[in-house]
Structures are given as C-alpha cells and as structure tokens.
C-alpha cells in the first residue's frame, strides 16, 4: 500500500518552515521524514508523519495550501551501492521516479527512502515482484 | 514660430463659441435620436424628443454614457452611421474580455487631424518640423492620431512607433528629429539610453514634444525638458471621444485647453452626477459635438480634473482642464496601456476555477513600469510537483500577457498573504512616485 505524504506550499520567506512544523508539533504529530523542493520564489515542503490525515486538517485550518499525495516507502540496503541497486531494479521494472528523499531514521540495518512515482500501486506490485521490501502505512507511521 | 494652427476657432470669442456649440449639440442630439436606438430609448424614457435640447443648459436633461454602455453594445451598437461610411476602426482595453471599439468616418478623421494639428502647433511644430512619432501604431490611437495631425500641418513624420530604442536614438540624431511624441516614461527611457550611448541632447535637434497616454507629473516634465532639451507639453485624449488631441497644454504650461468647438466639457460629482462649477475637482464628462460614426452624449471619462477658471495668456479662448489627479475607477496606465484589474481577475478565474485572491503591484524600475501579479495558491491548483507549479505560473503569465498585451511577472504566494479589508481585498498597490 502507498504511504500518505503531506505536501505544503511555502513562499520563500523567513519563518514559514518553523510555522508548519510548530503547528503539527502542537498537535502531537511526529515527523518521520521530510524534504523541501524550492525555486527562487516558492518551495514545497513534503512530510511523512505518523498521522497524515490529522496533519492535513491541522495545516488546512492554519491556512496553508496542503495536499495529500501517495508515495511509496522502499527499504534500501545500507551499504555502498545499495541505492544504486534499488534504482536499477526500479528502472528495469519501468517505474519512473518524480522525486525521492531518505528517512532520517534507519530501520534495523537498512535505510528507508520515499519515492514519488507516476502510479504508486502498480509500482509497488512491480517492485515486490523484484523482491524489494515495501513498507506499509502502519509500518511507516509507527516507526 | 506659428502661434496657432487655426486662429479663427482656437481664439473664437466665447459668445460665438457658445452659439457654435449649441448648434452642434442640437445636431448631435437629433442624429443620435434618429440613428442610435440606445440613445432614442434613453431619451424617450426621459420624455425627450429630438428637438428638446436647444441650449447648453438643456444638456443636464440628457443621460450619461459609460464605458459599460459601449461594452453592452459591442462592437458597433452605438455607431450612428452604416459601416460603409466607417473608414477606420480603433480599439482600447475594455474592463473585461472584449475591447472597446471605436469607428471614424472620413470627416471624423478630418476632425481628429485638425485637433492634433492644433496640439502639435502648441509644442512648436510647423511645416518645417521633423516629427519623431514613437507612439505605437495599431489599434491604439496614439500612433495614427499624431501621424495624421503631423501630415495635416505638412511636417515630415517619422512613423518610428515603439521599441528598438537604440535605433530610435540613431534615427533622431541622423534624421534631425525636431519634435518628439511618445509616452512621458518612454521619453525618460530614451534620455537614459542616450546617456548610456554617450549621446548628449546637444547632438540632437529636438525643440518640442507632446507626451501623454499615461500620468505625467511636473517632476517628469522637468526631467524630460532638461535631459532632452525640448519643451514638453501634456496631451490628453481617449479613444472613445476621438483619441489623442481632445485637450493639450499650450506653451503657458498651466492646464490643458480642451477643444470646445468639438468637445463639450463638464465636470460632475462622480457620486451624485451633479455638475460642478469651475475650480472644483470632479469627473470629466465629454459630449462630442462633431463626431459622426460614434457620437457620445455626456460620456463619463472616469478621469478626475477640474475646469480652471480664468483666461489664458496664450490667447486661446477654449477652457482649460487641470492636470489629472486620478481616476474614479481602478484603471491603471502601464507603459501607455490601459489595464483594468478586472481583466486580470477574469484570467485567474478561468484558470483557478474559483474566486482568485490576487494583488497587482506596479513599480517603476528605471524609467519603465513593471507589473507584477501575486496569486494565492488555492488547493484547486496546488500540485505537489515543482514543475506543476511552474507550469501554472507560466500559464497565468502567458494568459495575462495575451489579454493585456504587455509583459507581467507572476508570483505564487501562500493563502491569506494578500490582505483582506472589509471582506474585499485590496487589488492594486501602485508604488510609482508620479
């Protein structure tokens, strides 16, 4: 199953990142992974949190432009060439990556990365056939 | 130097001028009554017949005409002649999608050339002049308006139009241009580029110029005169009435003479519609007295000015209106182009599919006006991919540019960034120090 990612539109101005994280922090929502894509004028903050639906509502109420996006969480062996191997497998499976970023925490001996792909459900099936470990929502939110 | 183009009319005693105006007003009212259904209905609703308007005082009985009336009768509904009599069309920005279309008969073009010849004569143009016309040629009335007036005088016209600034400066220098016509901001831009190119005003032969189609402050006049070495006069007009040449400053430089043998002038309180006496600021209202294709009765220009009391030492007897102090609506003039916030709103509504929150910011960088539109990103259009938002930004920019015909910068901003006041957002911030 895909994992829910929160995406937040941010203008490039001082203090906005703190505002977002404070808002969800005040509601006891914990960040598991994040990344920021930015241009000269604006940025998009992407978050994996333990309670995505709650985070979505909290941020909307705070007046942010927010969306929920399906992404997949893939286990990556923590060794030189580990990510390259996974990416090669994804390429062989014909899975196109829009963007990716890594989790802060490690899962046992392995690392965890988030991938945004065109069709997450199809990608999960293809990658599981290749023997990759895909994390479920529960596993990710409860890390 | 020729003082006047048409002394008989420009210096006509007020009593004679008044008689001429009344005769022409009677003809105009009769013509719109019989030829324009819109006006016939409006007069009938007031119980007026074609002969009920005899004196200038009777003008008060007549209804106003607004830009919306032109829009509602788009494109030709207010024309008073068959299209076979129309020899020219021009258009200006409407408040939404459709432009305002104006038509001219051969005689209308003749009147336009006449008033433009008077205006050009004010800034010193004669048969010997080399007139460098940097107003845009096209649907905009600026270029062709000056052009025909200059030819009427018998001067040589350089129809250089807008853009290619370095080439324009080369032409001014090599062709020996003596009169310059363009927007005041473009005149200052020319001065700036000249300085960069190491060309001084002494390398040019400029003597006078008419600058209009956008706000023109005294400070700008001083700069234009000092940096280009010419006498800079303000010119006013609007396409609905005829184009440039409705009013112009004389060398006294204290107010713009409005050519009252062709345009009947009133100042009204924009709230109540009541006429205001000279010396009071209000909305300029014009009734055309000689227009054939598109005669307009009590047209509300939305420009705020006053009739200046007193006679002018230049000898012209036509009343003067003061420098414009603003608008009764939210129209902006950017690089000579009329921009209504509603035009931008319409584009955003189409793209956003919902009521857009936006802010228009106008700045003057160097000598040129820049237009920036801030748009709040709503959930309807938010996508989690950078290129999706960049695509949105580009789409908004292209569609606004398509509608306005000038370049804009678009900036996507967070919701609630744009201040709401009393339920309605402030739509425009104009940082220009005019």
- For chain B, give every domain's residue range: 7-329, 333-430
Assess whether A79 and A136 both reside in one domain. yes
- Tell me the CB-side half-sphere exposure of residue B146, using CA atoms within 13 A: 34
**B333-430 matches B7-329 in CATH topology:** no
Per-residue pLDDT band for B421 (boundaries 50, 70, 90) equals low
pLDDT at residue B328, as a whole number = 86
Q: How many residues does chain B have?
A: 434
Q: Are A123 and A134 in contact (CB under 8 A)?
A: no
pLDDT at B203: 96
Distance from CA of A67 to the nearest CA of B (A): 7
Report the residue of chain B nearest A39, measured CA to CA: B386
The CATH topology of domain B7-329 is: Rossmann fold (3.40.50)
Query: What is the interface pTM, i.e. ipTM, of the complex?
Result: 0.81
Confidence (pLDDT) at A131: 87
Q: Are residues A46 and A86 located together in one domain of the fold?
A: no
Do A58 and A77 sit in the same domain of this protein?
Answer: no
Which residues of chain B does A7 touch, with a Cβ-Cβ cutoff of 8 Å?
A: 382, 384
- Give the pair of three-digit tokens for residue B94: 């409407």
Helix (H, G, I), strand (E, B) or coil at B231: strand
Token duo for residue A74: 């893939």
Name the nearest CA neighbour of A76 among A117, A134, A139. A134
How far is the C-alpha of A113 from the C-alpha of B363, rounded, in Å? 45
User: d(Cα B150, Cα B139) in Å, to the nearest integer?
Assistant: 19
CATH code, A118: 3.30.2130.10
| pLDDT higher at B333 or B290 | B290
- Interval B135-154 mean pLDDT: 96
Q: Which of B411, B413, B416 sits opposite A63 (nearest CB)?
A: B416
The alpha carbon dihedral of B276, B279, B284, B288 has a sign of positive
The CA distance from B169 to B355, in Å, is 46
What is d(CA B394, CA B409) in angstroms, rounded to the nearest whole number? 9
Burial of B432 (0-12, 13-18, 19+ CB in 10 A): middle
> End-to-end distance of chain A based on CA atoms, in angstroms?
16
Q: How many residues does chain A have?
A: 143
Please tell me the distance in Å from A137's CA to the nearest CA on chain B: 20
Strands in B76-227 per DSSP E: 86-92, 100-105, 130-133, 156-158, 179-182, 208-212
DSSP state of B65: B
Domain extent at residue A123: 70-141
B6 Cβ under 8 Å from any chain A Cβ: no
In a 13 Å sphere around the CA of B394, the CA atoms on its Cβ side amount to 6
Confidence (pTM): 0.77
Residue A60 shares a structural domain with residue A77: no
3-class DSSP assignment, residue B371:
strand
Q: What is the mean pLDDT of chain B?
A: 92
Diameter over CA atoms, chain A: 45
CA distance A100 to chain B (A): 12
- Considering the four listed CATH numbers 3.40.50.970, 3.30.9.10, 3.40.50.2300, 3.30.300.30, the one that applies to the domain covering B333-430 is 3.30.300.30
If asked whether residues A76 and A32 sit together in one domain, one would say no
Whether chain A has a CB inside 8 Å of the CB on B411: the answer is: yes
Give the tens place of pLDDT for each residue, B46-100.
Answer: 999 999 999 999 999 999 999 999 999 999 999 999 999 999 999 987 766 688 9
Kindly report, residue by residue over B337-387, the tens digit of the pLDDT: 888 888 888 888 888 766 678 899 999 887 788 999 999 888 888 888 888
B269 touching chain A per CB within 8 A? no
B361 neighbors B367 (Cβ within 8 angstroms): no
Judgement on whether residues A51 and A96 belong to the same structural domain of the protein: no
State the pairing for strand pair A97-102/A110-117: antiparallel
B207-254 tens-digit pLDDT? 999 999 877 788 889 999 999 999 999 999 999 999 999 999 999 999
Report pLDDT for B425.
57
- Measured distance CA(B243)–CA(B286) in Å, rounded: 13
Whole-number pLDDT of residue B326: 83
Q: Which residue has the tokens 């994992």?
A: A3
Predicted local distance difference test score (pLDDT) of residue B2:
55
Q: How far apart are alpha carbons B390 and B433 in whole angstroms?
A: 32
With CB atoms and an 8 Å threshold, state whether A65 touches B411. no
pLDDT band at B420 (very low <50, low <70, confident <90, very high): low
If asked whether residues A45 and A64 sit together in one domain, one would say yes
Of the candidates B384, B386, B414, the beta carbon closest to that of A64 is on B414
**Cβ neighbours of B377 in A, within 8 Å:** 9, 42, 65
pLDDT in tens, A23-39: 999 999 999 899 999 88
- Best to test chain B binding among A65, A67, A68, A71 (most B CBs inside 10 Å): A65
Interface check for A64 against chain B (CB to CB < 8 A): the answer is yes
Count up the domains in chain A and report the number.
2
Two structure tokens written together for A79 = 């060794």
Direct distance between the N- and C-terminal alpha carbons of chain B, in angstroms, rounded to an integer: 32
CB-based contact (8 Å) between A16 and chain B? yes
Q: Are B270 and B283 in contact (CB under 8 A)?
A: yes
Tokens coding A8: 């937040």
With a pLDDT cut of 70, the percent of chain A lying above it is 99
Residue B1: predicted pLDDT: 47
DSSP string for residues in B417-431: -SPEETTEE--EEE-
Nearest to B250 by CA among B156, B193, B169, B321: B321
Q: What span, in angstroms and rounded, lies between the C-alpha atoms of B267 and B325?
A: 13
- Give the Cα separation of B76 and B140 in Å (integer): 18
Q: Please count the CA atoms within 13 angstroms of the CA of B261 that sit on its side-chain side.
A: 20
Residue B295 and residue B88 in contact, taking contact as beta carbons nearer than 8 Å? no
Domain closes at, from A45, A69, A93: A69
- Do A59 and A105 fall into the same domain? no
């Amino acid at each position: 199953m895909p994992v829910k990612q929160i995406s937040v539109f941010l203008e490039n101005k001082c203090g906005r990142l703190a505002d977002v994280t404070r808002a969800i922090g005040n509601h006891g929502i914990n960040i598991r992974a994040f990344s920021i894509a930015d241009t000269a004028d604006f940025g998009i903050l992407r978050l994996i949190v333990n309670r995505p639906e709650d985070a979505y509502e909290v941020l909307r109420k705070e007046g942010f432009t927010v969306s929920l996006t399906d992404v997949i969480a893939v286990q990556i062996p923590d060794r030189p060439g580990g990510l390259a191997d996974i990416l090669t497998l994804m390429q062989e499976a014909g899975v196109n990556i829009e963007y990716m970023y890594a989790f802060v925490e490690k899962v046992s001996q392995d690392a965890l990365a988030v991938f945004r792909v065109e069709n997450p459900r199809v990608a999960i099936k293809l990658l599981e056939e290749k023997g990759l470990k895909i994390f479920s929502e529960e596993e990710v939110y409860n890390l | 130097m020729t003082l006047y183009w048409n002394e008989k009319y420009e210096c006509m005693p007020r009593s004679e001028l008044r008689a001429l105006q009344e005769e022409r007003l009677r003809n105009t009212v009769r013509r719109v009554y019989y030829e324009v259904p819109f006006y016939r209905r409006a007069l009938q609703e007031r119980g007026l017949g074609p002969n009920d308007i005899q004196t200038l005082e009777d003008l008060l009985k007549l209804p106003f005409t607004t830009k919306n009336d032109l829009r509602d009768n788009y494109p030709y509904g207010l024309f008073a002649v068959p299209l076979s009599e129309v020899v020219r069309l021009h258009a200006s920005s409407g408040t939404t999608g459709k432009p305002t279309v104006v038509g001219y008969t051969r005689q209308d073009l003749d009147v336009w050339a006449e008033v433009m010849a008077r205006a050009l004569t004010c800034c010193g143009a004669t048969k010997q002049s080399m007139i460098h016309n940097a107003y845009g040629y096209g649907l905009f009335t600026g270029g062709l308006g000056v052009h025909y007036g200059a030819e009427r005088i018998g001067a040589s016209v350089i129809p250089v139009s807008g853009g290619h600034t370095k080439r324009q400066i080369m032409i001014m220098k090599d062709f020996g241009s003596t009169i310059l016509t363009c927007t005041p901001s473009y005149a200052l831009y020319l001065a700036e580029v000249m300085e960069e190119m190491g060309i001084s005003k002494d390398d040019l032969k400029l003597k006078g110029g008419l600058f209009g189609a956008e706000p023109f402050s005294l400070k700008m006049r001083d700069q234009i005169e000092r940096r280009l070495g010419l006498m800079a006069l303000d010119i006013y007009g609007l396409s609905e009435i005829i184009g440039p040449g409705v009013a112009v400053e004389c060398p006294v430089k204290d107010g713009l003479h409005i050519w009252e043998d062709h345009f009947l002038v009133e100042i009204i309180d924009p709230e109540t519609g009541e006429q205001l006496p000279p010396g009071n600021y209000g909305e300029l209202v014009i009734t055309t007295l000689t227009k054939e294709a598109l005669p307009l009765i009590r047209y509300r220009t939305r420009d705020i000015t006053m009739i200046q009391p007193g006679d002018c030492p230049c000898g012209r007897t036509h009343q003067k209106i003061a420098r414009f102090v603003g608008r009764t609506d939210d129209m902006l003039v950017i690089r000579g182009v009329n921009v209504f916030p509603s035009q931008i709103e319409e584009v955003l509504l189409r793209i956003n599919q919902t009521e857009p929150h936006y802010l228009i910011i106008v700045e003057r960088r160097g000598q040129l006006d820049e237009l920036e539109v801030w748009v709040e990103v709503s959930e309807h259009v938010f996508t989690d991919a950078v290129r999706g938002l960049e695509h949105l930004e580009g789409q908004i920019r292209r569609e606004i540019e398509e509608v306005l015909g000038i370049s804009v910068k678009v900036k996507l901003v967070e919701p609630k960034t744009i201040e709401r006041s009393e339920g309605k957002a402030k739509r425009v911030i104009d940082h220009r120090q005019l």
